[in-house]
């Protein structure tokens, strides 16, 4: 059932060179829920090679929070599963895999610029999309894996059936498949509709994953909640017939919570769509009020999420002067779709800024710590999560 239309959207990470904006690709971003499995997905998918290629710009290590997060996940995996042979699917710039010995970890990464980085770090890296063919090739070359790990990548994969089958093949019979992605429940509760953009082909609920994985010979034995990316679930999966890793009870708790929240009810999604529309109107009203008051508004973090918000709401350079972002590859470019200039924080986050829209609201703690001076001098952040509002004052009170 289709329930949300976020309008014409560009490729969220396809930043443009000024003067070279012609032929920009747009598609209609519509979202639906499969009422049988409860899986929430785009109605039509964008071809993967248009999003994940050798010019991909998202660096996992661009936030301290992420670096710390993956260090601690790696530590936990070693604590809980020992000195494992691990495969990472979607290794990006190596932020996670670098916590493992070179001879114990293999990387899979379709974006050539990032595959090059982990190869240079010394990790065997397969520069291609995850597939059944690659799974067979890896299992033959390296034997099967004790752990297959994937963060913010499984929800990018359009054909989940094929991806999970490939994982089943490459995983040792007593192995563990661990993956984490943004949580649908958190998105519904926080009104964070900007989790929806081209790359996020699906927004996973534990309910949907449980329904799908079950049919493929897998069993979820543990679910950890993490605050990363505005609330994610880390799912621990084993092969059904394996007696190692008995369920710890967390799956049942999550399934019950999602059931209470109406994760399988049509009305939940129709209500969410209404809240998204209200959020759009409120955000536009707030930005216009602030701008009409003679204030300067910028955006903080040229994120995929802000691409989604700006294109859905029709927010362009008339409202937001520019976006600051720490990623060198994004600086000097124009944001996808609405063409807001992106500059470095050094160049743009100065005393002339009155308000900053939080494109990276998921890093609120890290950002407010870093920008305490901005807040102390009366600068305010603007966010739409969980509701449209401004954040002012001492960082501790934000
Ligand atoms: P993220 O929420 O991971 O982006 P996405 O929506 O694309 O998943 O935010 C990462 C981006 O935000 C990245 O381009 C770097 C930028 N950023 C800053 O510019 N300053 C900061 O302090 C932080 C934490 C991120």
Q: What is the 263 CA–ligand 1 centroid distance (Å)?
A: 29
165 located within any domain = yes
Q: What is the 389 CA–ligand 1 centroid distance (Å)?
A: 20
Q: What is the 170 CA–ligand 1 centroid distance (Å)?
A: 32
Atom of ligand 1 lying closest to residue 306 CA? 6
pTM over 0.85: yes
Atom of ligand 1 lying closest to residue 363 CA? 24
Determine the Cα–Cα distance for residues 122 and 102; give it in Å rounded to an integer.
6
Claim to verify: residue 152 and residue 17 sit in the same structural domain: no
Residue 40: pLDDT band with limits 50, 70, 90: very high
Claim to verify: residue 23 and residue 94 sit in the same structural domain: no
Which of 229, 263, 297 is a domain's end point?
A: 263
- Per the CB < 8 A criterion, the answer to whether 359 and 306 are in contact is yes
176 located within any domain = yes
Residue 397: pLDDT band with limits 50, 70, 90: low
Q: What is the 34 CA–ligand 1 centroid distance (Å)?
A: 31
Domains held by the chain: number: 2
Q: What is the 166 CA–ligand 1 centroid distance (Å)?
A: 31
343 located within any domain = yes
- pLDDT score at 396: 54
398 located within any domain = no
pLDDT in tens, 277-291: 999 999 999 999 999
220 located within any domain = yes
Claim to verify: residue 115 and residue 180 sit in the same structural domain: yes
Claim to verify: residue 40 and residue 160 sit in the same structural domain: yes
Ligand 1 pocket: which of 363, 381, 384 to mutate (most atoms within 8 A of CB): 363
For the chain, how many helices (H) and strands (E)?
Answer: 13, 17
Q: What is the 301 CA–ligand 1 centroid distance (Å)?
A: 5
The residues lining ligand 1, judged by C-beta closer than 6 Å to any ligand atom, are 58, 62-63, 301-305, 325-327, 330, 360, 362-363, 366-367, 370
Which of 263, 297, 327 is a domain's end point?
A: 263
Ligand 1 pocket: which of 303, 311, 364, 370 to mutate (most atoms within 8 A of CB): 303
- pLDDT score at 134: 98
| Residue of the CA atom closest to atom 19 of ligand 1 | 325
pLDDT in tens, 182-236: 999 999 999 999 999 999 999 999 999 999 999 999 999 999 999 999 999 999 9
Burial (CB count within 10 angstroms: exposed 0-12, middle 13-18, buried 19+), residue 291? middle
CA 350, 56, 188 angle in degrees (round to 5)? 75
- pLDDT score at 393: 74
State how beta strands 171-182 and 232-239 pair: antiparallel
- pLDDT score at 395: 59
| Residue of the CA atom closest to atom 16 of ligand 1 | 301
pLDDT in tens, 148-174: 999 999 999 999 999 999 999 999 999
More confident residue, 396 or 350: 350
At residue 34, does pLDDT exceed 90?
yes
Residue 398: pLDDT band with limits 50, 70, 90: low
Tell me which residue range forms the domain holding 296.
2-32+267-391
- pLDDT score at 137: 97
Bridge partners (DSSP) listed for residue 34: 39
| Residue of the CA atom closest to atom 10 of ligand 1 | 303
396 located within any domain = no
At residue 145, does pLDDT exceed 60?
yes
Claim to verify: residue 227 and residue 189 sit in the same structural domain: yes
Ligand 1 pocket: which of 9, 12, 52, 63 to mutate (most atoms within 8 A of CB): 63
For residues 82-91, average pLDDT: 97
Strand order in the sheet with 342-343: 342-343, 323-324, 297-300, 355-358, 380-383, 389-391
Residue carrying the six token digits 């399934």: 255
- Supply the mean pLDDT for the chain: 97
- pLDDT score at 394: 62
Claim to verify: residue 220 and residue 349 sit in the same structural domain: no
Q: What is the 267 CA–ligand 1 centroid distance (Å)?
A: 33
């Amino acid at each position: 059932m289709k329930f949300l239309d976020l309008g014409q959207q560009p490729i969220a990470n396809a930043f443009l060179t000024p003067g070279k904006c012609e032929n920009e690709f747009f598609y209609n971003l519509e979202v639906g829920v499969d009422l049988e499995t409860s899986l929430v997905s785009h109605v039509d998918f964008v071809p993967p090679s248009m999003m994940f290629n050798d010019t991909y710009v998202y660096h996992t290590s661009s936030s301290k929070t992420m670096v710390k997060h993956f260090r601690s996940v790696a530590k936990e995996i070693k604590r809980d599963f020992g000195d494992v042979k691990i495969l990472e699917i979607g290794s990006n710039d190596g932020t996670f895999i670098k916590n493992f010995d070179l001879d114990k970890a293999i990387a899979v990464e379709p974006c050539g610029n990032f595959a090059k980085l982990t190869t240079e770090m010394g990790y065997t890296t397969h520069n291609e999309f995850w597939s059944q063919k690659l799974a067979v090739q890896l299992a033959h070359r390296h034997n099967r894996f004790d752990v297959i790990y994937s963060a913010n990548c499984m929800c990018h994969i359009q054909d989940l059936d094929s991806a999970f089958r490939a994982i089943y093949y490459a995983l040792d019979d007593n192995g563990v498949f661990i993956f984490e992605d943004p949580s649908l429940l958190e998105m519904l509760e926080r009104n964070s509709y900007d989790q929806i953009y081209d790359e996020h082909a699906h927004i996973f609920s534990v309910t949907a994953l449980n329904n799908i994985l079950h049919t493929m010979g897998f069993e979820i034995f543990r679910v950890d909640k993490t605050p990363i990316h505005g609330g994610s679930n880390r799912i621990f999966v084993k092969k059904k017939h394996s007696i190692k890793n008995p369920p710890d009870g967390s799956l049942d708790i999550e399934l019950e919570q999602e059931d209470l929240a109406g994760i399988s009810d049509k009305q939940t999604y129709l209500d969410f769509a209404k809240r998204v529309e209200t959020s759009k109107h409120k955000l536009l009203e707030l930005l216009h009020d602030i701008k009409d008051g003679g204030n300067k508004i910028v955006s903080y973090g040229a994120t995929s999420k802000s691409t989604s918000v700006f294109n859905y709401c029709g927010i362009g350079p008339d409202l937001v002067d520019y976006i600051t972002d720490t990623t060198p590859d994004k600086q000097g470019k124009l944001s996808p779709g609405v063409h807001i200039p992106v500059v470095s924080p050094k160049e743009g986050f100065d005393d002339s800024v009155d308000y900053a829209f939080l494109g990276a609201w998921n890093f609120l703690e890290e950002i407010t710590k870093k920008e305490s001076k901005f807040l102390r001098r009366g600068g305010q952040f603007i966010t739409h999560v969980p509701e449209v509002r401004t954040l002012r004052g001492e960082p501790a009170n934000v």
